[in-house]
Amino acid sequence: MTQTRTISIVQGDFAVSADPLAVMSTVLGSCVAVCLFDESAKIGGMNHFLLAGDDDTASTDLKYGVNAMELLINKLLRGGADRHRLRAKLFGGARMTRHARDIGASNAAFAQSFLDGEGLPCLSQSLGGTQARRVVFTPTTGAARMLQISGPAPEAKPPPAQPKTEAITLF
């Protein structure tokens, strides 16, 4: 039996591999992971960004989607991928709380818009909803598995219940 090598992709990170034994794994809430691959060149990669960002984002921080996408594509091309053969799969963008701006929707919209703007076809996606996801991606083939993590979306905790006390008589 062949042993796979798992590459964990954390928030604000990305990786590229042509290793046929490598799989990439991440857990997403409102963040988005873009899996890009060139099946002919047998190379692929995954990023995990926290905020959409845009072309005006001054930072080169990988937490911004625009930077994470550019770096992922450039490393794939340097590794032998052909831009015209790149294919994408998108995951994440959940709404993890009802009490704040829907960052997940912004991240998902950015990823879709970026791919459209670059002419990169998206073969499949699992975006939105209210549950976190675990994604496992095989970069050399483009195969991806996604598992939604059950349970309600995290919410702000209600204040603790006050303990019930007996009536007190003051003198």
In a domain? residue 42: yes
Q: How many domains does the chain have?
A: 1
In a domain? residue 156: no
Single pTM value for the model: 0.81
Question: What pLDDT does residue 58 have?
Answer: 52
Residues of the domain holding 60: 5-148
Using N-to-C axis directions, what is the helix angle for 65-78 and 103-118, rounded to 10°? 40
Question: What pLDDT does residue 96 have?
Answer: 87
Q: Is the sign of the CA dihedral 4, 141, 44, 35 positive or negative?
A: negative
Going across the sheet that includes 122-127, the strands are 13-17, 43-49, 32-38, 87-92, 122-127
Domain at 135, CATH number? 3.30.1330.200
Question: What pLDDT does residue 149 have?
Answer: 86
Question: Which stretches in the chain have pLDDT values below 70?
Answer: 1, 54-62, 151-171
Question: What pLDDT does residue 156 have?
Answer: 41
In a domain? residue 99: yes
Question: What pLDDT does residue 153 have?
Answer: 47
